[in-house]
Every structure is written in C-alpha cells, then in structure tokens.
Amino acid sequence: MTEQRLPDPALVVLVGASGSGKSTWAEQRYRAAEVVSSDALRGVVGSGRHDLDASTEAFALLDQIVAGRVRRGLTTVVDTLGLDADRRRGYLDLGRRHGLPTVVVAFDVPPALCRQRNAVRDRPVPAPVLAQQLRTARSVVDALAGEGWDHVVVLTDDAPAPAAPEPAATPEPPTGFGVVLQVSRFPWGEDPAGWLREVALAADACGFAGIALMDHLIQIPQVGTAWEPIPEPWVTLGMLAGLDTRLRLGTLVTPVTFRPPGITAKAAATLDVLSGGRAFVGVGAGWWEREHAGFGLAFPPAKQRLDALEAGIETMRALWAAGTKAYDGEHVALPETTSYPRPVHDIPVVVGGGGERRTLRIAARLGDACNVRLTADDADLDHKVAVLRRHCAAVGRDPAEVEVTVLDLPVVGTDRDDTWERVERLRGRTAAATYARAHHAGTAAEHRERYARLAERGVGTVFAALPDLAGPDDVLRLGAAVQSV
Ligand code: GDP
Ligand code: MG
C-alpha cells in the first residue's frame, strides 16, 4: 500500500477483529478526545472495558458523542469492531450530512497474528468469537470499496501505515519564496526595545525573510484590546534596522489616510538607506473609521480613499526616482521631486486589500505586489489571483511583475494536542472547527507543507502573523515551518 495522507478533519471509522491493532493505530495518530471507543465507554457506563452487559448503553453513548463531534466538524475516530454494515452506513450518512470527509480504515492483518495478540491479552476474546470476527472482517474488507466512503484504507500487517494526519514529504518551493513575520501584537511588558530585539533576532535566526508591522493608531479588535500598545511603525522599523540582521523591513499595511504620501516616501527612503536596502512599503486605503476620528484624521468615503491610494503610490514612486525634475503623472503633479536621501534599492510597494474592482486594479497598475488575506478556502485565493491577472491584462502589465502575497494567521502547535489547546484558547465564540480551518491550525511541519503548496500556486511571499505571539519562543515555533522553505 502506498503512503497516503488522510483528510483532516474527518470522520474515521475503524474496521477489524479484536487484536487487529485498531486502538493502537488510533492512539498513535489522534488526540484522545478524538477517538470514541466502545471499549472505553463500556468502562465508563459499565464495570470495565470488557463488560459486555454494558454494550447497549455504551453504543448509545458512542453514537451520541460521535454525532455531537461530527456536527461540530471535529475529527472523530470511531473505534469499534466496525463489522456491522448498518452502523457503518449510519456513520457514513452522518459524515455526509455534516460535510465531513468519511474515511474507513480496515485492519486486514493475518488471522494468526490476531489470535496471537488476543491470546496474550488480560481478557482474551473466546476463540470461537474471534474466529467469527475474523471471517466477517474478511468479507467486510471486500465490501468497503462499494459502500461510498471518500477514502478506503486497508492496512495489512506488512504495509506501511498511512502517515495520516501527518503531512507527506514537503516538495521544494521555488527560489524567491519567503515568509515574512507580521508583528501585530506587542506584549512587550517592561522592556519594549528588548522584546522587539529578541523577536527580530529569533525571526532572523530561523529564516524569516523579513518583518512587517501593522500600522494602526489604536490596536484593532481583531487582534487585541484598545489599550494594548501598538507602536508607530516607521519609528519601530528604524530601531529594527539598527539590529544586525538580514531581515527585510516594512509595513503591512500603512493606510494612505494617515500621512501624506510624500512623508511616507521620505520615511521609507530613510529606512531603506539606514537598513542597507531592505525596506518595503505595504500600503492600503485604510478601513477603520474609529482610529481616524480619535486622531483627528479625515476618513473620506471609500472611493476617495482608493483615489488617494492610487495617487499616493504615484507620489512615492516619483519621489524615489532619480533626479529632481518636475513630475506630471496620471493623478499627481509635483513642481519638483527633490528628496534626499534616495533609497538604495527599488522599494517594493505591496498593495493591500482584495477589493476586486479598484484595489486589485491599482495593484495591477502600480504595485510590485498584491496582498490578499488567506481564507479557509483555497478557491478564494485562486479567484483573487485570476482577477488580478485580468486587471494586469487590461492595463498591459506583465503579470510576472506583480507578486502575489498573502496574509496568513497560523495557529502553530508543537503537536496535535498542543495545537488544539491553542485553538480552544484562541477561538473566542467561534466554533473550534471553524477557527481551526480559518487559521490552518497544525504543527510546524503541516504549515511547512502548506507554504510549499502556496508557493506552487504562485504565492511569492507569505506574511505570517501569529494570533498568539507572545515572544521569541513563538517565533521559533513557527520558524520550524519556515526553515529552508
Ligand atoms: P484492537 O483490538 O484492534 O483495538 O487492537 P489493539 O490496538 O488493542 O492491539 C492489540 C494488541 O496488538 C496490543 O497488545 C497491541 O500492543 C498490539 N499491536 C497493535 N498494533 C500493533 C503493531 O502494529 N505491531 C505490533 N507489534 N503490535 C501491535
Ligand atoms: Mg481496541
């Protein structure tokens, strides 16, 4: 049998005689709470795992637990003999009804091995009972392919077990792909500069391509409370530029409503010079009215903000270009473009936002990159990329010149248990399965594989923001996903 990755989340139904290795297999791959076992429930409702008098109640409990978990979209492994066709049919229907992939895993081990394992157990199953189970199991294995499961896995004793739900070998992403750490929360305690330094040095040490800072005047509710610190990004990036790293440094994103674009151009050029050509500017139209009102800034309607975004990028580019001559562009006219220091490299402009009619068109016309928020659904990204490509064609821009970047908010656990504990801590009122999907909750190895797949789909840079970033250790935890990606 070839190595195969099972879907996750999924409803996984085990099939096999006693001693065929079902519980062992499940325990090695899934969290204890994900495995619903008839033996264990006999022990809960009856005198012990082998209390057959408790079977009826144990199975009633089992069905209730399985139904509750599947309804919530949570991975559920049904650890019973699995030999009853009606019960299997019931699980299959349940999974389908709730849109959860259905998997059946059959343990087709040699009868002699089963008998041998059975014989050494504390309470062996009587020989005739086991013989009957083995006969039934054999015929069930043959029937599974016709039952309608999304995945049928048949494990024989000599076959390598499927690596589920651990990822398979990671393909090599193309060169040029990078992961930039977006820092959006600053739980820096009594030592802001020390915290920033440690976070940046950790990011550099484990192979992040850069650091991006959010630009907000008040911490946004999606990230934290309004009284948590959210530092001014250009000042902060200036401090990071002074550290001995190779990190690229920039905003993701600065709203064009905060500063006249010439002032942003000046800040970015200064950062570029001080960092030896590592600056980038992520820029967007701004969206949060409250921070504008609170700081006495105008917050015009969306159309005007998008006009300002378009004009702002033109202005920055004019002020970064060589020479001091007058600039007369499509939306901007400047009597001179005298601005020193000049940046030491072409500062990339990342246009933030997925607005299909205007923002993506502005990105196609003026951006070096276009940043869209990653969702749970791969099709969303493919759609935005297609729209961007269409805009590129319409404005006569080579699509290869506009890099696709994504904002990713990964939950990263050290193992499956740790991952789900984090989901449970972070999810607020969102259902755990929904939160886990939106944040691609998984181990670093799983994120690594996901990033490689994103690279294959044309993403050049992932901006990754940890929803539970507390310090350098968290950066290192995600760093395992970044190393040599
Ligand atoms: P179940 O009755 O199908 O749930 O089987 P278990 O998972 O409880 O396994 C029965 C016995 O076989 C236990 O003593 C396990 O330790 C042993 N066992 C299960 N899987 C393997 C395996 O892959 N290799 C070996 N050597 N022993 C196993
Ligand atoms: Mg078992």
Q: What is the pLDDT of residues 449-480, one digit of tens each?
A: 999 999 988 999 999 999 999 999 999 999 98
CA of 336 to the centre of ligand 1 (A): 79
Average pLDDT, the chain: 94
Q: Which amino acid residue places its CA nearest to atom 10 of ligand 1?
A: 19
Q: Which amino acid residue places its CA nearest to atom 17 of ligand 1?
A: 21
CA of 68 to the centre of ligand 1 (A): 28
Ligand 1 pocket test, pick from 49, 50, 79, 117 with the greatest ligand atom count within 8 Å of Cβ, gives 117
Phi, psi of 211 (to 5 degrees): -125, 130
Q: How far apart are CA 427 and CA 435, in angstroms?
A: 6
Q: How far apart are CA 28 and CA 21, in angstroms?
A: 11
Q: Where are the domains of the chain?
A: 11-155, 178-479
Q: How far apart are CA 375 and CA 366, in angstroms?
A: 25
Closest ligand 1 atom to 27 CA: 7
* pLDDT for res 173: 52
Q: How far apart are CA 32 and CA 139, in angstroms?
A: 30
CA of 224 to the centre of ligand 2 (A): 45
Phi, psi of 59 (to 5 degrees): -70, -30
CA of 132 to the centre of ligand 1 (A): 19
Ligand of minimum distance to the alpha carbon of 117: 1
CA of 151 to the centre of ligand 1 (A): 23
* Tens digit of each residue's pLDDT (9 = 90 or more) over 383-402: 999 999 999 999 999 999 99
Alpha helices in 295-442 (DSSP H): 302-320, 359-366, 378-395, 416-426, 432-438
Residue with tokens 């490689």, as numbered in its chain: 452
Closest ligand 1 atom to 107 CA: 3
Ligand of minimum distance to the alpha carbon of 19: 1
105 token code pair: 């895993």
* pLDDT for res 2: 38
Residue list, ligand 1 pocket, CB within 6 Å: 16, 18-24, 117
Residue with tokens 């659904």, as numbered in its chain: 377
Closest ligand 1 atom to 157 CA: 23
State the DSSP string of 251-269.
EEEEETTTS-HHHHHHHHH
State the DSSP string of 410-460.
--EESSHHHHHHHHHHH-TTS-HHHHHHHTT-EEHHHHHHHHHHHHHTTEE
3: pLDDT strictly greater than 60: no
CA distances from 119 to 50, 111, 123, 125 (A): 15, 12, 8, 8
Q: Which amino acid residue places its CA nearest to atom 18 of ligand 1?
A: 21
One-letter amino acid of 320: W
Phi, psi of 83 (to 5 degrees): -90, -10
- What architecture is the 11-155 domain classified under in CATH? 3-Layer(aba) Sandwich (3.40)
3-class secondary structure, 205: helix
* Tens digit of each residue's pLDDT (9 = 90 or more) over 403-457: 999 999 999 999 999 999 999 999 999 999 999 999 999 999 999 999 999 998 8
Ligand of minimum distance to the alpha carbon of 17: 1
Q: Which amino acid residue places its CA nearest to atom 11 of ligand 1?
A: 19
3-class secondary structure, 114: helix
58: pLDDT strictly greater than 60: yes
The angle, 0 to 180 degrees and rounded to 10, between the axes of the packed helices 261-274 and 302-320 is: 40
CA of 311 to the centre of ligand 2 (A): 67
CA of 103 to the centre of ligand 2 (A): 18
Ligand of minimum distance to the alpha carbon of 15: 1
* pLDDT for res 481: 87
323: pLDDT strictly greater than 60: yes
Band (171; pLDDT cuts 50, 70, 90): low
For the chain, state the CA radius of gyration. 28
* CATH homologous superfamily, domain 178-479: Luciferase-like domain (3.20.20.30)
Pairing of β 327-328 and β 333-334: antiparallel
Q: Which amino acid residue places its CA nearest to atom 27 of ligand 1?
A: 21
Closest ligand 1 atom to 20 CA: 3
What does the chain come to in residues? 485
Ligand of minimum distance to the alpha carbon of 22: 1
Residue 421 burial by CB count (10 A; 0-12/13-18/19+): exposed, middle or buried? Answer: middle
Q: Which amino acid residue places its CA nearest to atom 21 of ligand 1?
A: 21
- Determine which of 243-247, 372-376, 427-431 has the lowest per-residue pLDDT on average: 372-376
CA of 93 to the centre of ligand 2 (A): 24
CA distances from 317 to 269, 359, 362, 370, 428 (A): 11, 18, 14, 16, 42
* Percentage of the chain modeled with pLDDT above 90: 90
CA of 23 to the centre of ligand 2 (A): 4
Ligand 1 pocket test, pick from 24, 38, 120 with the greatest ligand atom count within 8 Å of Cβ, gives 24
Closest ligand 1 atom to 120 CA: 14
